[in-house]
Structure 1
Amino acid sequence: MDLMCIETDAPRRAYEDPVLIQDSRVLQNLLALEDRYQPNPNYFKCVQTDIKRYMRKMVAQWMLEVCDEQRCEEEVFPLSMNYLDRFLSVCDTSRTRLQLLGAACMFIASKLKETCPIAAEKLVIYTDHSISFSMLMDMESLLLSKLKWDLSAVTPHDFLEQILSRLSLDRHDMDVIKKHAQTFVALCATDCKFMMYPPSMIAAGSVGAAIHGLSNVQHLDLKLLQKLHEITGIELDCLRGCQEQIEQTLAVNLSTMAPSSSGLEETSASKLDHTSSLTHTPQHEHLKEQPTTPTDVQDIHFD
C-alpha cells in the first residue's frame, strides 16, 4: 500500500472540546473572572492627556485590518484590544506611540492564540516602517510589565461557544450565527462605548443581534432574551439595551458605506453578510495592499 504525505500551508486548528463547552463550571468561572480584565471606560478623562477616542478607533480599525489580512484566529483581535485598553487605563501614552502600542498588543495576542504568530518584521511593515524592531520589543516589555503578565484575559469570544451550545440550534445554524456574532464582537471592539459592557453581555448581545438579523421574528426575540438571561444571569433590560446598541452601531456603519448601499435593503441575512466588509478587509497577497497606517494619529495637533 502506498503512503502519501500531503503537505499544506494551512495551520492546524484545535478541535472544540465538548467537555469544556458542556461543563457549566467553565461558564461560571468565565463569568466570575471577566470583571478582573475590564479596562477603565473613563481612561480618556482620568489617565490619558493626549489620546482621544477617535484615535483609538482609528488604531483599532487598522489592527482589525492587520489581523484579518494575516488570517489570525478570531480571538486575537478582541484580545489585543483588551490589552490596549488595559494598558491605556494605567499608563498615560503619547499619540505618537499609539500605533506602536497597537502593534505590540497584536504581537503578544498572536503569540498566545496563534499556531504561527505574526512576525515582528511584518508588523513593522504594516506600520509603514514608522516603528522599528527594537521599538516593538521595548513596547512589548513595557506592556507585559504594566499588565503584570496577566495575559489570559476573558473576552466576548470566550462566551460565544458557551452561549451557542446552550441554545436549541442545529450545527449549521450555530455555525452561521457564530460567524455573524464574531463580526459583531469585532465591531464592538472598535467602538469605545462598548468598553463599559462586560464581555459576557457583548457576547450575548452579539448572539441576539445575529439571530434577530437572520430571523427578524419579534416573538423569538423575547424567548431568546429570556434564554440568554438564564444562561448568563444578566438582567433582561441590560441584554436588550446591549443588543439594541450593537444593532444601532451596525446601522450607523452601514449608512457610512459607499454609494452601493441599495443592496443593503435586502434581507436581514444579507445585511449581516454586508457587515463583514465593515470589519474585515479583502485578503491580499504578500502585503501588496497592506492596511493603511493611521498616520493621522501622529499628524493631527490641536491648538
Structure 2
Amino acid sequence: MSATPNSLFRHYLDSLIQQGTTRASLTDEARNVLRTWYVAARQGGRPAASASASPKPPPLQTSAPAPAEMPEPPELLPQSGEPASSITLPEGTMEDKLQYLRHLAQNWKPARELNSLRDTMVFATGNPHTKLMLIGEAPGYYEEVQQEPFVGRAGEKLNQILRAMGLSRDMVYISNIVKFRPALPNQRTNNRAPTPEEIEACLPIIMHEIRVIQPKMIIALGGTAAVGLLGEQGSVSSMRGRFHDLNGIPVRVTYHPSYLLRSDSPREKRKVWEDMLAVMERLEMPISEKQRGYFLPRE
C-alpha cells in the first residue's frame, strides 16, 4: 500500500515524539491540511485530491504559538488527565509494550534534559496482568540500589499492607511516576520528592504504562503521586476517603508507606486500612470480619 500524506504526517509526528519532542506548533498551511482531514473523517469520506496531492508532511514550526481558532482533530488531543505529548506503542503483547516503555524511559529526553535526576532508571515490578496498580512518586536510595520500586523499610511496610489484603507483590503491579531518583548535592542515602517539573516531564511514561496495564483500580501512594496523576492540588488527608477518576479508572489516594513509619499509631494505620478496605470492596475481593476489624480501638 502506498503511503498517504496522513500516514506520512503521523509517522513524522511519531519520530519527533521518539526523540523526546513534547511540543510543536503548526503553520497555517499545516492546520488547513489537518482541517481538511478532520472534516473528511467526520463525514466518513476521503480528503479531496487537492488536499492530498503532495506526500510531504505539513510543515511544523517550533517558535510561534499555533492559532487557537480551530480545534485539533480528536486523534491528536490527549485524553483527560493525560499529558500533551503522546507515545506510539508497538504492536505485540503487553510484555512487548512494557519493554518498549522501559527502554524509552531509560533515555526519555524531557526527563534527562532537566539535569536534576540521577542516572539509574527504576521502572516497575509485579504482575502486569492484574486488576490493581499501585503508583508512588519516585525511587529512593534503596530502590536505586536494587532497581526496583518500593524496597527498604517503606517497601516492607507496603508488603505488610498487601499481605493484610491477602495479596503479595507478585499479584499486583507497582510503579512510580518518576523513574529516576531525584538528585541532591553530595547525595548519599538522603532522598527528596520530585518537583512538579520532574513529574510533568515523566508523566507520558506512566500514563502509557497505565494504558498498557489497564488496571481496574489504581492506588496513589502519597500526595505527590496523587497530585501528579490527578492534576488536583491538595493534601492526602483532603483527597483520601473517596474515589477519584483517571480516564475511567477509579483511583484511591492514601498515605505513602513511609508516612506510617513516621506516624505508626493505630489511628493512622486505620486510615490507610480503610482505604484498602474500600479498594477490596470495589474489586469484590473477599473480606473477613477479622480484616474489617484491623486497627480499630479495642473496647
Range class of TM-score, shorter chain: under 0.3
Which has more helix, going by share of residues? 1
Q: How high is the TM-score relative to the length of structure 1?
A: 0.25
Higher relative contact order (CA 8 A, sep 6+): 1
TM-score with structure 2 length normalisation? Answer: 0.25
